[in-house]
Amino acid sequence: MVTIVSEQIQSQPVCIVVGASHAGVNCAFELRKQGFSGRLVLIDADMHLPYHRPPLSKAFLNTPLDDAPAPLKAKSAYEQADIELFLGAMVTKVDAKENIVSFNKGGSGNAENGYSIKYTHLVFATGASPIIPPIPGLNVAENCLVMRNAKDALALKSLMHAKRENISNLNIVIVGAGYIGLEAAASLRKAGASVTVIEREERILARVASESVSNHVARIHQENGATILCQRNVSAVERDTDKGFQWIVCDNGERYRADAILLGVGVRVNSELAQEAGTSLHRGAISVNTHMQTSIKNIWAIGDCTSFTHPLYGENSHIESVQNALEQAKVAAKNIQQISVADAGDAAPLQNYKAIPWFWSDQYNMKLQMVGLPVNADCQVTRQESKEALSVWHFVQNKLVSVEAINSPKSYVLGGRAIDKNAFIDKSKLADPSQSLADLL
Ligand code: FAD
Comparing CA positions, the residue from 78, 82, 91 lying closest to residue 46 is: 91
pLDDT for position 7: 47
Instruction: Tell me the pLDDT band of 312, cut-offs 50, 70 and 90.
Output: confident
| CA–CA dist 131, 269 (Å, integer) | 10
Candidate from 60, 273, 304, 369 with most ligand 1 atoms within 8 A of CB, to mutate? 304
Total-model pTM = 0.95
Is any ligand 1 atom within 6 A of the Cβ of residue 277?
A: no
Share of residues in the chain with pLDDT > 70 (%): 95
Helix (H) or strand (E) holding 22: helix 22-33
H-type alpha helices, 96-244: 150-162, 179-191, 211-223
Nearest CA to ligand 1 atom 46: 322
Give me the residues paired with residue 174 across strands.
197, 262
pLDDT at 345: 60
What integer pLDDT is reported at residue 439 of this predicted model?
87
Is 286 touching ligand 1 by the criterion CB < 6 Å?
no
DSSP 178: S
User: In this predicted structure, which of 9-23, 149-163, 364-378 has the lowest mean pLDDT?
Assistant: 9-23
Per the rule left: phi > 0, alpha: psi between -120 and 50, beta: everything else, 231 is left
- Residues near 441 by beta carbon (within 8 Å), at least 6 away in sequence: 414, 415, 417, 418, 423, 425
Mean pLDDT of 210-229: 98
Residue 19 Cβ contacting ligand 1 at under 6 Å:
yes
Cα gap 294→301, rounded to integer Å: 6
For the Cβ of 327 lying below 6 angstroms from any atom of ligand 1, the answer is no
**In the prediction, which pLDDT does 4 show?**
46
Taking residues 15-24, what's their average pLDDT? 98
Single-letter amino acid, residue 364: Y
Ligand 1 and 320: CB distance under 6 A: yes
Q: Is 271 in the pocket of ligand 1 (CB under 6 A)?
A: no
Confidence label for 346 from pLDDT (cuts 50, 70 and 90): low
Residue 161's contacts (CB-CB under 8 Å, 6 or more residues apart) are 65
- For residue 404, the CA-to-ligand 1 centroid distance in Å is 23
CB of residue 340 inside a 6 A radius of ligand 1:
no
Q: Give 11's pLDDT tier (boundaries 50, 70, 90).
A: low
Q: Vertex 187, ends 199 and 174: CA angle to 5°? A: 25
Ligand 1 site, residue 264, Cβ cutoff 6 A: no
* CA of 53 relative to ligand 1 center, distance in Å: 7
- Residue 344's pLDDT is 63
pLDDT digits (tens, 9 = 90+) for 155-185: 999 999 999 999 999 999 999 999 999 999 9
Please tell me the predicted confidence (pLDDT) of residue 141: 74
Task: Give the Å distance between the CA of 342 and the centre of ligand 1.
Answer: 32
User: What does the buried/exposed string (b/e) look like for 211-241 if buried means 16 or more CB atoms within 10 Å of the residue's CB?
Assistant: ebbbebbbebbeebebebebebebeebeeee
Q: Which residue type is seen at 240?
A: D
78 CB-contact burial (10 Å; exposed 0-12 / middle 13-18 / buried 19+)? buried
Please check the confidence at residue 302 and state whether its pLDDT lies above 50.
yes
* Model confidence pLDDT, tens digit, residues 263-279: 999 999 999 999 999 99
**Residue 225 in this model has a pLDDT that exceeds 90:** yes
| Burial track 165-174 (b if 16+ CB lie within 10 A, e otherwise) | eebeebbbbb
Cβ neighbors of 392 (< 8 A, separation 6 or more) are 210, 212, 213, 380, 381, 382, 383, 403, 404
Interacting residues of 133 by C-beta distance below 8 A, sequence separation 6+? 175, 234, 263, 265
- Predicted local distance difference test score (pLDDT) of residue 347: 63
Q: Give the C-alpha separation, 187 to 398, whole Å.
A: 39
C-alpha 368/C-alpha 174 separation (Å) is: 20
Residue 250 CA, distance from chain mean position = 28
What is the Cα–Cα distance from 155 to 143, expressed in whole angstroms? 12
195 lines ligand 1 (CB under 6 A): no
Query: Using 50, 70 and 90 to split pLDDT, how confident is the model at 105?
Result: confident
Phi, psi of 413, deg, nearest 5: -70, -50
CA-proximal residue: ligand 1, atom 43 (nearest): 53
Of residues 181 and 245, the one with the higher pLDDT is 181
b/e burial code for range 271-303 (CB count within 10 A of at least 16 → b): bebbeebebebbeebbbbebbbbbebebbbbbb
Distance 24 CA to ligand 1 centre (A): 10
Q: Is 147 in the pocket of ligand 1 (CB under 6 A)?
A: yes
Measured from the CB, is residue 30 less than 6 Å from ligand 1? no
Residue nearest to atom 6 of ligand 1 (CA): 19
Q: Would the CB of 13 count as within 6 Å of ligand 1?
A: no
